Amino acid sequence: MLVGKRVNLKVAEKEDVPLLAQWLNDVNFSGDYQHFPDQITKAMLEKRIVEHRLYQNEWVDFIIEKKDGNKIGWAAHYLSAPNFGWIEIGYAIAPNERNKGYATETIQILVDYLFLTRDIVRIQAVIDSANIASRRTLEKARFKKEGTLRKALWNAKGKWTDGDFYGILRDN
């Protein structure tokens, strides 16, 4: 368990599969800009979370919990380009818990954890260029915009959209 001031990040387990399946397949939770695989079944999530064999590369899911144990969101870190060792993060907060600073704290916890436990110099995130909330959240967590990938993401509305690369370095 990664312990923060207002939220904890619990590594997702088998018992979390039904909730994650519900969340990740719900456009109200994932948002208009989510670029993860469109739909994911419980069987796929079991392979990802319990058996760690859905993807070839490392992928770790977390449940974001408030201090009273209430589950309010999802986060993950994963190897996005294994040849380069690029570690990327993703996150979503339940609609009724947004704009309370929970995603920003989640990102800060993940960054601290990854820099403490991995021999890496950077962590990155890719967001839909129109995803203002996600951009603001990354900026508050001291990520910087590094560039734009044109038509890189297939969004929930069935359109190719530009993706902004954000990164944070170990050194600054």
Ligand X SMILES: CC(C)(COP(=O)(O)OP(=O)(O)OC[C@H]1O[C@@H](n2cnc3c(N)ncnc32)[C@H](O)[C@@H]1OP(=O)(O)O)[C@@H](O)C(=O)NCCC(=O)NCCS
Q: Between 14 and 26, whose beta carbon lies closer to ligand X?
A: 26
The SS3 call for residue 48 is helix
User: Pattern 43-72, binding to ligand X, x per CB under 6 A?
Assistant: ------------------------------
Residue 148 in contact with ligand X, rule: CB under 6 A: no
Nearest distance from residue 58's CB to ligand X, in Å?
19
CB-based contact 163:146 (threshold 8 Å): no
Please tell me whether residue 98 binds ligand X under the rule CB under 6 A: yes
Binding residue for ligand X, selected from 80, 104, 108, 155, defined by CB under 6 A: 104
Residue 169: closest CA among 122, 111, 108: 122
Contact between 103 and ligand X by CB under 6 A: the answer reads yes
- Please identify which residue in 99, 146, 148, 151 interacts with ligand X, judged by CB under 6 A: 99
Q: Among residue numbers 2 through 41, which ones bind ligand X (CB under 6 A)?
A: 30-31, 33-34
Annotate 113-148 with b (16+ C-beta within 10 A) or e (fewer).
ebbeeeeeebbbbbbbbebeebbebbeebebeeeee
The SS3 assignment for 79 reads strand
Partnered with residue 116 across adjacent β-strands are: none
User: Whose Cβ is closer to ligand X: residue 31's or residue 167's?
Assistant: 31
φ, ψ of residue 163 in degrees (nearest 5): -115, 130
What x/- string results for residues 67 through 96 when contact with ligand X is judged by CB under 6 A?
A: -----------------------xxxx---
H/E run at residue 112 = helix 102-117
Q: Which residues bind ligand X (CB under 6 A)?
A: 30-31, 33-34, 90-93, 98-104, 127, 131-134, 136-137
